[in-house]
Amino acid sequence: MATTASVLDRYAEYEATIGIEVHVQLMTKSKIFCACDNAPCQEPNRNICDVCSGYPGPLPVLNKQVVDYAILAGLATNCSISPRSYFDRKHYFYPDLPKNYQITQQMEPICHEGFVPIRLDDGQIKKVRLMRIHMEEDAGKNLHSPDGDESFVDLNRTGTPLLEIVSYPDMCNADEAKAYLKALRLLVRYLGICSGNMEEGAFRADTNVSVRKKGAAELGTRCELKNINSFKFIGDAIEYELERQIGLLERGDRVSQETRLWNTRTRETAAMRSKEEVADYRYFEDPDLPLIEINDEWIGRVRKLLPELPHERFNRLCSECGLEPSEAEILVEDVELANYFEQARSTTKSRNLINWVLRDVMAFLKEEKIELIELKMQPDQLATLVDMVDGGVINNRAAQEVFKTVAQTGKDPRGVVKEVGLEQISSVDELEKIVSEVMSENSSQVEAYRQTRNERMFGFFVGAVMKKTGGRANPTVIKELIKKHLQ
Ligand code: ZN
Ligand code: MN
């Protein structure tokens, strides 16, 4: 990631402190406290029952899969797992919250004190510390008619399980905040617990930003930037907020603690509400839900489900497969492409393989507007193709042709080479004959070249020989032969 110009460059005496709370929607089969289907649903108030729509009487029952996913996230972020934790009620009124309280974990979260490693643009690894991860339920959605006359409440989302992942204020600029969010999003996708879809609100970040003079003992007053749904907008909003807060302090004003919204049209943040204090919510332990007791055996069972994590795969791709960090980074962010590469690599150790994957495979998918899964060329077929080029069986030009055919048809690359007659001609005797012919057919050009030694003209002879061989000549061999003839 390139370092972008920041308002902090202009105010060297200030420093920024950024902490982020992320809400991750879990892809469990059912909701957190009832058996309702936990899947997006177009028809409003379809996936609801008396528990998640707040009827009096029915009791919540905790979905064990949510606890498993919370433990998995905790292990993947180096957290301690609490042997005993419980749920609290957080009280507030909003039409999309039918019980008038949200069930969450305030006093004793399931995970605490971990970290997420992020890679900065200079290649350094920084650990962003996590304060806690807790489980909670999502609220429903309020929908407003375009003319503003009517409002509706859709409770399909009510009771969707969430993990709230809270970092320490360890980030000191917009680039670090974005790197952290990207790393965390990739992590939950690797774990298979969240789609990471920001536009649909499956991964939502609340960013707390404050500034202070360097060396000041206390943190500045923070503002919370709520639910911004793209990395770019989050970066822009942080920059805007730093400028606004520094401006206030420079004028001798104070920053007031509040929640602010980012307006993508005006590219400004605007105050939404003053931030509530913890005490305002009148938290207390939910008497309807039992204590959550997690022993080592449970943790051990979940630990077995841990996949290779993004930063681990990154390190392995660099050390074992000899990839450059920039190459490994592209693969790590695209799990299917990384798998494709690794499957091909189990057949060939060619250093050229990665170029074929990142250049030719990606370009082909883009051109044809298809997904990797639809590509007819199997990983081992690409490996065969790369080996044929490396071994001099076909030259690069023919390889492009073979690639296209195999990508479109899934035919065996060796078969395609035979069928179309693309084998490279490397035989010196055979090529010598053709080079001689070209020389005698173009005697005036030969004379001209001997006088000027013009590079372009040399290319003319290479082209002429290639043409006679249907593009199959080994370029290294013919260049040597032509040089000899032109002396
Ligand atoms: Zn329900
Ligand atoms: Mn929350």
Distance 98 CA to ligand 1 centre (A): 12
Ligand nearest to the CA of 36: 1
User: What is the pLDDT at residue 360?
Assistant: 94
The string of DSSP codes covering 150-201 is -EEEE-TTTT-EEEEEEE-S-B-SHHHHHHHHHHHHHHHHHHTS----TTTT
**For residue 12, how many other CB atoms are within 10 A of its CB?**
8
Block residue for tokens 């069930």: 103
User: What is the pLDDT at residue 278?
Assistant: 66
* Helix, coil or strand: residue 360: helix
Structure tokens at 34: 């009832």
Structure tokens at 357: 């994957």
The amino acid that residue 49 corresponds to is C
Ligand nearest to the CA of 61: 1
Report d(CA 419, CA 112) in Å as an integer: 63
User: What is the pLDDT at residue 276?
Assistant: 66
Mode of pairing for the β-strands spanning 125-137 and 111-119: antiparallel
Ligand nearest to the CA of 132: 2
Ligand nearest to the CA of 155: 1
Report d(CA 382, CA 188) in Å as an integer: 31
Distance 104 CA to ligand 2 centre (A): 7
Distance 31 CA to ligand 1 centre (A): 7
Ligand nearest to the CA of 60: 1
Ligand nearest to the CA of 58: 1
pLDDT per residue as tens, the chain (487 positions): 445 678 888 888 999 999 999 999 999 999 999 999 998 888 999 999 999 999 998 999 999 999 999 999 999 999 999 999 999 999 999 999 999 999 999 999 999 999 999 998 888 999 999 999 999 999 999 988 888 889 999 999 999 999 999 999 999 999 999 999 999 999 999 999 999 999 999 999 999 999 998 888 888 889 999 878 889 899 999 999 999 999 999 898 888 888 888 888 888 888 877 766 767 889 999 999 999 999 999 999 999 999 999 999 999 999 998 899 999 999 999 988 999 999 999 999 999 999 999 999 999 999 999 999 899 999 999 999 999 999 888 888 889 989 999 999 999 999 988 887 777 787 788 888 888 888 888 888 888 888 888 888 888 888 888 888 878 888 888 888 888 888 7
Q: Which residues surround the ion ligand 2 when the cut-off is CB under 5 Å?
A: 164
Distance 72 CA to ligand 2 centre (A): 19
Ligand nearest to the CA of 32: 1
Q: Which residues contact 26 (CB under 8 A, 6 or more apart)?
A: 38, 65, 66, 69, 160, 161, 162, 163, 193, 194
- CA angle in degrees (0–180, nearest 5) for 433-435-440: 95
Distance 110 CA to ligand 2 centre (A): 14
Taking each helix axis from N to C end, the angle separating 443-452 and 428-441, rounded to the nearest 10 degrees, works out to: 90
Distance 304 CA to ligand 2 centre (A): 28
Distance 29 CA to ligand 1 centre (A): 12
User: What is the pLDDT at residue 105?
Assistant: 97
Distance 244 CA to ligand 1 centre (A): 43
Distance 116 CA to ligand 2 centre (A): 20
**Domains and their CATH numbers in the chain:** 7-302 (no CATH), 322-420 (no CATH), 428-485 (1.10.10.410)
